[in-house]
Amino acid sequence: MNPFEYSPALESTAIVEIAERYNLFIDGKFVTPKSGKYFPTINPANEKVLAKIADANATDVDLAVGAARAAYSKVWSKMPAAERGKYLFRIARILQERAREFAVLETLDNGKPIRESRDTDIPLAAAHFFYHAGWADKLQYAGVGIQPRPYGVVGQIIPWNFPMLMLAWKVAPALATGNTVVLKPAETTSLTALLFAEVCQQAELPNGVVNIVTGAGVTGADIVNHPGIDKIAFTGSTEVGKLIATSIAGTKKSATLELGGKAANIIFEDAAIDEAVEGIVNGIFFNQGHVCCAGSRLLIQENIHDEVIEKLKVRMAHIRLGNPLDKNTDIGAINSAAQLAKIRELVTAGGAEGAEQWSAPCEIPGEGFWFAPTIFTGVSQTHRIAREEIFGPVLSVLTFRTPQEAVEKANNTPYGLSAGVWSEKGSKILWTASRLRAGVIWANTFNKFDPASPFGGYKESGWGREGGRHGLTAYLKASN
Ligand code: ADP
């Protein structure tokens, strides 16, 4: 063995107890599904079944919405706001206390490296509850008039890339503003949401304020179409977002939609190149590239293209892919066989359309779903890999000559969620940022998140904002 090789540093799974079977969380209790059906959830790093999850049908959804409605009208909307805030503080503290348990469970069910679930997902989830706990009794400053009102019962549907963090992004503002919730996690990653249900019990949150129904897209559609839902908050694909927008058209339901992205990460010739290379790696390879705001289109000023690519390849050759529970791992497993197939299809299209592929030389484990970090150079704007969201560890590289051209190429996308700009000149960063049609723009960094900072997109990246004061307005109506 090479003396400079890493030794494995495996996180223990002893802290987590996984049941054989999970029921639905309705009205503060775990109840068997009326559907009588369960489906398996697997560990994508070894394809082994972790547990069976209840598959909720329309009757189950109806019971959950009924529980949420009763909790809203009898308890949650009547409670003084400061009291509501105390529950959020309590949940936030329990999440911190049980952080390691959540991190290990998230890594087992999702495939993401423990380093990320431990240092990013779970701390940020707790931070979202702390932040919104503080807002609960200050809603007159949210910008929706002096006596803003909640919507009532909110249906929340979340994806599999940041299961617990997306739950926090949804549940914390909804509860702080006085709404009650029916939430559906993604079918491949339900376990941390079900552990969160236990946290709700532990915090003695009144029954029915949070209800968790598990299942696939059909269950999601049952929530969207239920007449007792006042508002939908969805994070997921643009395709499903469009379906939801169509379903609720003509109803009284409102919606926030956080959808796909194809972010440009722009590197100007005067950028600090080594730092930019770190930002490129973080921008596209964080969470296996399963990130809607990933910096998946790299735009490099033409005269520094070769230097950046050379340094990027050296850096990528040191990325460690493998067991997500190993604390040395940078890239974990792809979340599902279906997602791996989607990544492979687009990568094949990239080659067929004439772009040049380079993949980091890493060993791929024998079982589980994996994809080596990959870049495509010589990409043109018409290529599918420059236009479609790959949602995997695959970067498309384009070049530009002038700042104007960088902006035009960056904006040449149906999406508009995020972007990055790298330059040592503040004036150039501001000039560029003010012309980019993207909801979040990072300067000399990438993928930084904070509960106080609103997040959301332009164009097909969605409707509305989450986080910060702007995010509160998605859950509040003016009194009159
Ligand atoms: P991704 O491509 O990230 O898997 P999806 O949009 O397919 O995103 O999934 C995001 C969430 O939306 C998941 O919880 C999924 O079960 C749910 N979902 C899928 N189809 C529908 C639908 N037709 N109506 C409502 N929710 C859906």
CATH code of residue 389: 3.40.309.10
**Considering its fold, how many domains does the chain have in total?**
2
User: Does 8 reside within a domain?
Assistant: no
Give the structural domain span for 197: 21-258+459-477
Report the atom number in ligand 1 closest to the C-alpha of 241.
Answer: 6
- Based on the domain organization, do 359 and 427 belong to the same domain? yes
Does 96 share its domain with 219? yes
408 and 439 assigned to the same domain: yes
221 Cβ below 6 A of ligand 1: yes
CB 167 within 8 A of CB 211: no
CATH number at residue 213: 3.40.605.10
Q: Is the residue at 402 inside a domain?
A: yes
Q: Is the same domain home to 278 and 254?
A: no
Q: pLDDT tens string for the chain (480 positions)?
A: 566 778 899 999 999 999 999 999 999 999 999 999 999 999 999 999 999 999 999 999 999 999 999 999 999 999 999 999 999 999 999 999 999 999 999 999 999 999 999 999 999 999 999 999 999 999 999 999 999 999 999 999 999 999 999 999 999 999 999 999 999 999 999 999 999 999 999 999 999 999 999 999 999 999 999 999 999 999 999 999 999 999 999 999 999 999 999 999 999 999 999 999 999 999 999 999 999 999 999 999 999 999 999 999 999 999 999 999 999 999 999 999 999 999 999 999 999 999 999 999 999 999 999 999 999 999 999 999 999 999 999 999 999 999 999 999 999 999 999 999 999 999 999 999 999 999 999 999 999 999 999 999 999 999 999 999 999 999 999 985
Q: Are residues 247 and 276 in the same domain?
A: no
User: Which ligand 1 atom minimizes the distance to the CA of 243?
Assistant: 23
pLDDT at 479: 81
The tokens describing 154, both together, are 């909110």
Among 116, 258, 389, 460, the one annotated catalytic: 258
How far does the centroid of ligand 1 lie from the alpha carbon of residue 55, in Å?
14
HSE-up (13 A, CA, CB side) for residue 428: 17
**Between the CA atoms of 111, 115, 117 and 120, what dihedral angle is there, to the nearest 10 degrees?**
-140
Indicate whether 341 belongs to any domain: yes
Whether the CB-CB separation of 190 and 107 falls below 8 Å is answered with: no
Domain co-membership, 97 together with 130: yes
- Cα–Cα distance for residue pair 241/253, rounded to 1 Å: 14
Query: In which region does residue 220 sit, left (phi positive, over 0), alpha (psi from -120 to 50) or beta (all else)?
Result: alpha
Do 276 and 389 lie in one domain? The reply is yes
What single letter denotes the amino acid at residue 131?
Y
Give Cβ neighbours of residue 381 (< 8 Å, ≥ 6 apart). 387, 398, 409, 412
So what's the pLDDT on residue 440? Answer: 97
Ligand 1 centroid–CA 339 distance in Å is 13
With a 6 A CB cut-off, is 349 part of the ligand 1 pocket?
A: no
For 352, phi then psi, to 5°, come to: -65, -30
Is 292 a known active-site residue? yes
Q: How far apart are CA 394 and CA 288, in angstroms?
A: 9
| Contact between residue 471 and residue 233 where contact means Cβ atoms under 8 Å apart | no
Nearest to 186 by CA among 136, 129, 145, 236: 236
Short-list 407, 409, 401, 343, CA closest to 376: 343
Are 299 and 249 in the same domain? Answer: no
Q: Are residues 208 and 304 in the same domain?
A: no
Same domain, 279 and 377: yes
- Could you tell me how far CA 277 lies from the centroid of its own chain? 23
Strand partners, 400: 301
pLDDT, position 480: 59
Please give the sequence-ordered ranges of beta strands (E in DSSP) within 10-94, or none if there are none.
21-22, 24-26, 29-31, 38-43, 48-54
CA of 217 to the centre of ligand 1 (A): 5
Q: Tokens 């791992």 — which residue?
A: 329
Q: Ligand 1 center to residue 259 CA distance, Å?
A: 11
Choice from 240, 339, 343 to test ligand 1 binding pocket (greatest atom count within 8 A of CB): 240
237 lines ligand 1 (CB under 6 A): yes
Same domain, 250 and 274: no
Cα angle: 176, vertex 181, 186; to 5 degrees: 115
Residue nearest to atom 18 of ligand 1 (CA): 217
Would you say the CB of residue 224 lies under 6 angstroms from ligand 1? Answer: yes
Specify burial of residue 369 (Cβ count, 10 A radius: 0-12, 13-18, 19+): buried
Q: Has residue 12 been placed in a domain?
A: no
Ligand 1 centroid to Cα of residue 242, in Å, is: 11
- Please identify which of the residues 200, 292, 293, 362 carries the catalytic annotation: 292
Q: Nearest to residue 192, comparing CAs of 266, 93, 126?
A: 126
Q: Is residue 4 part of a domain?
A: no
- In this prediction, residue 5 carries a pLDDT of 79
Tell whether 7 is covered by a domain: no
Token readout for 98 is 């049980």
Asked whether 392 lines ligand 1 (CB < 6 A), one says no
Query: Looking at residue 425, what is its pLDDT?
Result: 98
240 within ligand 1 shell (Cβ under 6 A): yes
Task: Give me ligand 1 centre to Cα 256, in Å.
Answer: 14
User: Does 211 lie in the same domain as 148?
Assistant: yes
pLDDT at 126: 98
Token output for 125: 């989830």
**Is residue 9 in some structural domain?**
no
Assess if residue 386 is contained within a domain.
yes
DSSP-assigned letters across all residues of 314-368: HHHTT--BS-TTBTT-SB---S-HHHHHHHHHHHHHHHHTTPEEEE---PPPSSS
258 catalytic, yes or no? yes
